[in-house]
Structure 1
Amino acid sequence: MRSMIAAALALGLVLGGATGCGSDDAGGDGKIGGEITVLTQRTDIVNTVFQDYKKKFEAKYPGTTVKFEAITDYEGDVRVRMNTKNYGDVLLIPNSVTDDQLKSFFEPLGTVDALKDKYRFVTNEKTFDGKVYGLSITGNAQGYVLNKKVWTQAGITEPPKSPEEFLAALKAIKDKTGAIPLYTNYKEAWPLGQWEGVRGAVSGDPDAVTKLAEDDAPWAAGKEHYIIDSLLYDAVKGGYTEPDPTTTNWEQSKGLLGTGKIATMMLGSWSIVQMQQAAASKDDIAYWPFPHQTNGKFYSVIGGDYKNAINVNSKNKATARAWIDWFTDESNYATDQGGVSTLKSAAMPSTLADLTAAKTELIELNPAPKGKEGLADKIGNSAEIALFDGKYRQVIVDAARGAKNESKDQLFADLNKKWAAARAKLK
């Protein structure tokens, strides 16, 4: 299982038109009772953890029945089902649903103003015209997961504060431990897209994505994307990544990091629990902020994962809403899975103890100005530099390892040229 952020971003939703229009109140005056179907991507825990949720919810609301449908290819299968009205009562909003499509398929849960004081990730995620259409099942911080035991063996016990310190640490790991210092998971591509998650963390700027959409040269020296992608390039160039990136294997890599054969992977914090499950001891696994400080401080961007939402065609919206509220407020799913709770009142999970110890400031990105929602991603898609799918970073890896005859300067100049051209068409 991987997170919503890790899933490959679809370029468009293949839907046969709107299936309905939402009201302003999910559930309205309806009575909580009867049966609902809840779609989930958690095929690994639907028959265990989710059955416990079912018992607790049905006990709180006598007369209700919760049925789960666990879907392996969640994005693909649900996208097809949304051509009909039959896509459950509660479901996770597919990544490929654009904000302007939300009202056609999902019931609004309330306004941003009404929900923002209680919940994280509602000011700029799956919202439209001031209405919230989904509540995150969990949240992720952005940085890198590491086998702390290996890093300690190499003599590094604190997070590197700069790319230069990080590269020096990778060299020490290679020289002293024999572990692969940094694993890119190149073959699958999507893990390379995880590097995009640290935009905003490098600058400590909540408006980083808005400014990215206004910039003709994001890969100019000193800017966020230059710093992020230079670190990737330099790590590969220095020989600190896997010997043959074309043979990487995601599932195997979790065990390799857990057992110390890999030291580091640049992934969202959703990965921590999966790495701990593969480790001899949970204490071997830590999570550190991206190696860059602004004004002497580390930053990490936190954002929501998949969002629970109500099918606008549901015949039982009151119970569907009760489930979403219970799941968000009472199930403890986010914290149990090592994530940042959607509830602002909840404490940070123990999995982020090392991030907290480094005095990392957690920031949420601000929403884009009206009319410019998703503009950076649209520019990237138009320029064939899809920011989250990892493919353009495969090119960076290829250039750094000598499989592509292009220097870093040439590579970044080409990226800037393509970006500026696409931006001129879209701005």
Structure 2
Amino acid sequence: MFPHARRNRLAALASAGAVIALTAACSSGGGSAGDTAGPSSGQTPSGAIKVVTWRTDLIQDGTFDKYAQEFQAKYPDVKVTFEGHTDYEGEVKTLMNTDDYGDVLGIINTITPAQLPDFFEPLGKQSDLEQHYQFISSKSFDGTTYGIPVVVNAQGIVYNKSVWQKAGLTDLPKTPDEFVQDLQKIRSTQPDTVPLYTNYKDGWPLTQWEGDVGSVTGDADAVNKLATIDDPWAAGQEHNVIDTLLYDVVKDKLTEADPTTTNWEKSKDLIATGKIGTMVLGSWAISQMQAAAEKAGTGADTIGYMPFPVQANGSWNSVVGPDYNQGINIHSKHKAAARAWIDWFNNESGFAASQGGLSPVKGSPDPATLKDFGSLGVKYLELKPAEPGKESLVNDIDKQAEIGLYAPDYRKRIVDAARGASKESLQQIFDDLNSRWKDARAAAGD
């Protein structure tokens, strides 16, 4: 049998829902906002710390080793090692059934705000940290912050500029219909190029479409409003617009011929060499595609980034939000060293800029990867957090409905219907999703 504290942690993890929105639960333990650990606390950073990360690629190519060397030059009494996980959410969730889940780690999405004090060391009062950092509300609870994002991503579409130019496309699409028409021009002018690549087989890239909820209307409350309506897939609703576009591009044969054979790693080379025209991905992907283009000899400037093809109030909108937030394991024996790493990584490593994202540090310049957004006048949209007491409501409804907004399955269902692999129509799928959502809302009591 698990020790009492261990059982509590296991139960907390087992009860956490799917990745949609931040959820809440009763919790105890942890520390107060005054229990912060770090150089400012008067403790000298020292000892060996392990940083648990989802970026296995940066371990393999030596990037993280370079960061460690730079950090240790400033803090010679600290030794940093890294542990990478490819199935980060699943594997770290398992690790957190124990006390040993590294010293610093990205806070997994299934940890609810109310559970943060059970697993993570408080970093300080949210009101104080917000003077320096942005986008920290998602990993704050009851006025205390437990995690700081490593990079802030914008949402949009990665594309090969040369492919679009060869198709005679000079203006970016402002509506879904224009986007489909542009993909059709790419198909007709470059038959060997896949206009839009879904990365269906890997699954998770399809969840990137969910990140554009909010971009369609420019409404910062777009996700919260899901808890107030019975029909998110009704005509005019954001999910209807997004998922109809996915269906249409597949139905019109503007995607890969056999989506069951897609390959994420290979897709980087394909878009770099003009074999793919576009992919719906967060801004974190830009630098990876540009690196592939440099390696292929086509040049980083070949890769561009466009907003989701809908305008609201005369402008494009891009939802922005944090990637993983680094937190400190509450059981770490070297919390001052762990805090020193987090502060150094966010303020001195240059990681956010290298990844093509916005910095969590207020006042930082936009990265070069998002220069296209600046020239287009794209507005960045930060989604509002849920009202206190309702942090888990959207998550609870989605879990009850068994849809999985941030899981790939329901969008795979749409792709399968569009390519003729099932006999469902898009309207039948929407009707089913709306019915399940409505019933789940009723069950949630809202």
Q: Do the structures match in fold with TM over 0.5?
A: yes
Q: Distance in 1 between matches of 2:406 and 2:90?
A: 18
Structure-to-structure mapping, 1:269-308, within 5 angstroms: 269-279=283-293, 280-308=298-326
Aligned partner letter, 1:171: Q
Contact 1:34 1:63 in 2 (8 A): yes
Contact 1:194 1:390 in 2 (8 A): no
Counterpart residue number, 1:382: 400
Counterpart residue number, 1:93: 107
Aligned partner letter, 2:426: K
Contact 2:28 2:117 in 1 (8 A): no
Aligned partner letter, 2:323: D
Q: Distance in 2 between matches of 1:410 and 1:91?
A: 42
Match of 1:177 among 190, 199, 214: 190
Q: Distance in 2 between matches of 1:20 and 1:57?
A: 31
Q: Distance in 2 between matches of 1:163 and 1:262?
A: 19
Counterpart residue number, 1:5: none
Match of 1:22 among 10, 15, 31: 31
Residue range with higher mean Cα deviation, 50-59 or 144-153: 50-59
Q: Distance in 2 between matches of 1:164 and 1:117?
A: 43
Does 2:371 correspond to 1:353? yes
Q: Distance in 2 between matches of 1:253 and 1:396?
A: 21
Counterpart residue number, 1:109: 123
Residue range with higher mean Cα deviation, 41-50 or 292-301: 41-50
CA RMSD of aligned residues (A): 2.0
Q: Distance in 2 between matches of 1:29 and 1:14?
A: 37
Alignment coverage as a number of residue pairs:
416
Deviation of 1:12 after TM superposition, in Å, equals 8.0
Q: Distance in 1 between matches of 2:425 and 2:92?
A: 42
Deviation of 1:419 after TM superposition, in Å, equals 0.7
Aligned partner letter, 2:347: D
Counterpart residue number, 2:141: 128
Q: Distance in 2 between matches of 1:344 and 1:229?
A: 34
Structure 2: which 5+ runs fail to align?
1-10, 17-25
Q: Distance in 2 between matches of 1:275 and 1:133?
A: 32
Does 2:97 correspond to 1:83? yes
SS at 2:194 equivalent = coil
Counterpart residue number, 1:248: 262
Aligned partner letter, 2:406: F
Deviation of 1:290 after TM superposition, in Å, equals 0.2
Structure-to-structure mapping, 1:249-264, within 5 angstroms: 249-264=263-278
Does 2:427 correspond to 1:414? no
Does 2:62 correspond to 1:52? no
Counterpart residue number, 2:245: 231
Structure 1 or 2: more helix by fraction: 2
Aligned partner letter, 2:145: V
Q: Distance in 1 between matches of 2:62 and 2:307?
A: 33
> CA separation of 1:411/1:152 partners in 2, compared to 1, >3 Å: closer, same or farther?
same
Deviation of 1:159 after TM superposition, in Å, equals 1.7
> CA separation of 1:362/1:226 partners in 2, compared to 1, >3 Å: closer, same or farther?
same
Contact 1:184 1:191 in 2 (8 A): yes
> CA separation of 1:60/1:93 partners in 2, compared to 1, >3 Å: closer, same or farther?
same
Contact 1:15 1:82 in 2 (8 A): no
Contact 1:30 1:317 in 2 (8 A): no
SS at 2:320 equivalent = strand
Contact 1:15 1:80 in 2 (8 A): no
Deviation of 1:144 after TM superposition, in Å, equals 0.6
Counterpart residue number, 1:7: none
Residue range with higher mean Cα deviation, 11-20 or 370-379: 11-20
Does 2:280 correspond to 1:266? yes
Match of 2:49 among 36, 47, 66: 36
Residue range with higher mean Cα deviation, 245-254 or 38-47: 38-47
Q: Deviations over 1:242-269 (max 9, x none)?
A: 1122222222222111111110111111
Residue range with higher mean Cα deviation, 40-49 or 108-117: 40-49
TM-score for the superposition, normalised by structure 1: 0.93
SS at 1:44 equivalent = helix
Does 2:335 correspond to 1:322? no
Does 2:227 correspond to 1:213? yes
Q: Distance in 2 between matches of 1:176 and 1:56?
A: 49
Structure 1: which 5+ runs fail to align?
1-10
Residue range with higher mean Cα deviation, 49-58 or 103-112: 49-58
Counterpart residue number, 1:6: none
Counterpart residue number, 2:360: 342
Counterpart residue number, 2:168: 155
Q: Distance in 2 between matches of 1:108 and 1:321?
A: 10
Counterpart residue number, 1:164: 177
Deviation of 1:15 after TM superposition, in Å, equals 8.9
Deviation of 1:354 after TM superposition, in Å, equals 1.3
Q: Deviations over 1:267-299 (max 9, x none)?
A: 111111111122221111111000000111000
SS at 2:319 equivalent = strand
